[in-house]
Amino acid sequence: MGILLDGVYGLLTAFVLVGVVPLLAALYQFLIIGLHGVRNHYDGVADVAPRCAIVVPAWNEGAVIGATIDRLVSLDYPPGAVRVYVVDDASTDETPDVVKAKMAEYPGMVVHVRREQGGQGKAHTLNAGLEQILAEDYAEAILIIDADVIFERDALRKMARHLADPDVGAVTAYIKEGSTPPNWMNRFIGFEYITAQAAARRSQNVMGAMACLAGGAQLHSRVSLESIGGRIDTSSLAEDTFTTFMTQRNGRRAVFEGNAIVWAEEPADITGLWKQRLRWARGNVQVTKRYRWVWFRRDRDRRLGGFGFGVLWFTIFLMPIFMICASTALVILYFSNFPLSWTLFHVLWITNAIVYLLVTLFSLSIDPQTARRTWFEGFLFPGVVSLAIIIYTCFPAVFTVYVRGGMEAIGLSPSHSFVHVTILFVYVWLAASMLFAWLAKVLEHRGYLGLLSPALIYFGGYGPLLCAITFAAYVAEARHAEMKWDKTEKSGKVAVA
């Protein structure tokens, strides 16, 4: 009986410690970024500027497409070496008129590719442009972007220099959230992009395997794009990730150029973010299934099959499962072996505290410009509740002495049952935070209740919101939900001057 009980406790301990795995993975990911100073691709660059065809998929982008074309033709790039192909996906707004006006304004530099039947998704739209580009001899490199992004003047030049190395098939840039003025959601996304792009993609450079070329800024050499069929995968919702994997599976490198800056307008509310990220997360489920024979198999793929890359991919992919496992095991242990649960709780959250500090402070230091406007959201990324738990586990006296003392001073001495309900709440929080985030999404468009949504995200956390979306992606894929391309609404807020 005792052995059986020990076995059960061991299993529950393992479940709680599963919650530590993504934290350790994040720690590893951030620690290796320091090596990017010596393990980067700068030794392989040269002063080249291949003739570049820029593919801009556009569906009802009348608000932003004109400014986008203006910026693209004025990039700091050799004269005549840039041609913009706007693939108009049967737009019903003023997009065709704007593009035609720009064709007249910049003769020979803008091409209008019109699809009469649209709405099939971004990959189909891109393929219409690629078909025309690859049928012509002009392009030596193809830059795939989004209609709303704004390249800094030297961004393309910085990306293109990597194509001097024939081993490099594709290069991506650092996409930054550029809505002006930013709202609370824009600031969360701004900070997220430091961690997910400026930081994470540098660590992927160090590892030699790239998870995803940003859909809004991916430069391919013509030979690489042709070698993967000259087309973008249309069978999934993550066409950029598939292209990234196919490029690397074909033996070429995908490189992140963190000093090439591209500004983008990202969703301004939870509903918009949910739609966008659900598409991405469902795409990741599809990629995970499609490449199931590659993961952790270095003998099958030297880059994508690496152990470190696999761990990082799956810790993000399975994060909601890890959180639910850890919470559930803690609650079971609360009722069966409290001292063990209390110890494991501390192990989990003290690890969380260390990783939180490293990720937050280092991210802010990587991009001080973005940090100036997103530092508050950066510190509150896990949410006020999680932050309070982190503070409690590291400095318990803040609560056991000061908060408790304050409550007693006003005649609110916490009862025995209050303490236990609080502990149970804290144990459940890892999983419940996702529910909290989902509630924020549900309430967003419910009249005055919608005013609560931002507060719920600040309290519950932006990180748990992303986990909730990943969980929703599992459900959508399990139900074989329709693969619908929900376009992110753009208003041209980035186009400031």
Judged by CB under 8 A, the chain residues 458 through 497 that form the site for another protein are: 496-497
Q: Which of residues 200-219 bind another protein (CB under 8 A)?
A: 202
Question: Between residues 70 and 94, which has the closer beta carbon with respect to another protein?
Answer: 70
User: Is residue 3 close enough to count as binding another protein by CB under 8 A?
Assistant: no
Helix spans in 106-252 (H): 122-135, 155-160, 184-193, 200-207, 222-227, 239-249
8 A C-beta contact, residue 164 and residue 265: no
User: Is residue 226 close enough to count as binding another protein by CB under 8 A?
Assistant: no
Nearest to 379 by CA among 180, 174, 179, 195: 195
Cα separation, 275 vs 337, in Å, equals 42
Cα separation, 421 vs 442, in Å, equals 26
Q: Which of residues 63-92 bind another protein (CB under 8 A)?
A: 70-71, 73-74, 76-81
User: Is residue 409 close enough to count as binding another protein by CB under 8 A?
Assistant: no
Question: Between residues 9 and 317, which has the closer beta carbon with respect to another protein?
Answer: 9
**Count, residues near another protein per rule CB under 8 A:** 78
What is the closest distance, in whole angstroms, from the C-beta atom of residue 10 to another protein in the complex? 16
Cα separation, 101 vs 94, in Å, equals 11
Crossing angle between the packed helical segments 200-207 and 21-31, to the nearest 10 degrees: 80
* Sole binder of another protein in the list 11, 14, 357, 421 (CB under 8 A): 357
Question: Between residues 428 and 443, which has the closer beta carbon with respect to another protein?
Answer: 428
What is the closest distance, in whole angstroms, from the C-beta atom of residue 324 to another protein in the complex? 24
What is the closest distance, in whole angstroms, from the C-beta atom of residue 226 to another protein in the complex? 17
* Sole binder of another protein in the list 22, 118, 178, 283 (CB under 8 A): 178
Question: Between residues 288 and 337, which has the closer beta carbon with respect to another protein?
Answer: 337
Q: Which span sits near another protein by CB under 8 A: 13-21, 292-300, 415-423, 459-467?
A: 415-423
User: Is residue 336 close enough to count as binding another protein by CB under 8 A?
Assistant: yes
Pairing mode of beta strands 141-145, 52-58: parallel
CA 386 distance to own-chain centroid: 21
Cα separation, 115 vs 118, in Å, equals 6
Q: Which of residues 362-401 bind another protein (CB under 8 A)?
A: 362, 365-366, 372-373, 375, 394-401
What is the closest distance, in whole angstroms, from the C-beta atom of residue 340 to another protein in the complex? 8
User: Is residue 421 close enough to count as binding another protein by CB under 8 A?
Assistant: no
Q: Which span sits near another protein by CB under 8 A: 85-93, 315-323, 350-358, 452-460?
A: 350-358
Structure tokens at 55: 């593919």
Q: 289: buried, middle or exposed (CB in 10 Å: 19+, 13-18, 0-12)? A: exposed
The beta-carbon contacts of 355-358 under 8 Å, at least 24 apart in sequence, are: 355/23, 355/24, 355/26, 355/27, 355/30, 356/382, 356/390, 358/27, 358/30, 358/31
Q: Which of residues 304-323 bind another protein (CB under 8 A)?
A: none
* Sole binder of another protein in the list 404, 424, 443, 485 (CB under 8 A): 404
CA 406 distance to own-chain centroid: 41
3-state DSSP assignment of residue 74: coil
* Sole binder of another protein in the list 289, 300, 302, 420 (CB under 8 A): 420
User: Is residue 296 close enough to count as binding another protein by CB under 8 A?
Assistant: no
8 A C-beta contact, residue 264 and residue 149: yes
What is the closest distance, in whole angstroms, from the C-beta atom of residue 184 to another protein in the complex? 15
What is the closest distance, in whole angstroms, from the C-beta atom of residue 221 to another protein in the complex? 11
Question: Between residues 89 and 177, which has the closer beta carbon with respect to another protein?
Answer: 177
* Sole binder of another protein in the list 338, 449, 451, 455 (CB under 8 A): 338
Binding mask 11-40 for another protein (x = CB under 8 A): -------------------xx-xxxxxx-x
User: What DSSP assignment string belongs to 208-246?
Assistant: T--S---TTEEEEEHHHHHHTTSS---SSS-HHHHHHHH
**Contact residues for 461 (Cβ-Cβ < 8 A; gap 6+):** 380, 381, 382, 383, 385, 386, 433, 436, 437
What is the closest distance, in whole angstroms, from the C-beta atom of residue 252 to another protein in the complex? 18
User: Is residue 183 close enough to count as binding another protein by CB under 8 A?
Assistant: no
Cα separation, 368 vs 183, in Å, equals 19
Residue 178 identity (one-letter amino acid) = G
User: Is residue 259 close enough to count as binding another protein by CB under 8 A?
Assistant: yes
Pairing mode of beta strands 150-151, 110-115: unpaired
What is the closest distance, in whole angstroms, from the C-beta atom of residue 313 to another protein in the complex? 23
What is the closest distance, in whole angstroms, from the C-beta atom of residue 125 to another protein in the complex? 25
Q: Which of residues 132-171 bind another protein (CB under 8 A)?
A: 140, 150, 152-154, 157-158, 161
Question: Between residues 124 and 158, which has the closer beta carbon with respect to another protein?
Answer: 158
What is the closest distance, in whole angstroms, from the C-beta atom of residue 308 to another protein in the complex? 17
* Sole binder of another protein in the list 3, 47, 116, 482 (CB under 8 A): 47
Question: Between residues 157 and 253, which has the closer beta carbon with respect to another protein?
Answer: 157
8 A C-beta contact, residue 386 and residue 429: yes
Q: Which of residues 99-128 bind another protein (CB under 8 A)?
A: 105-109
Q: 326: buried, middle or exposed (CB in 10 Å: 19+, 13-18, 0-12)? A: buried
Cα separation, 368 vs 383, in Å, equals 22
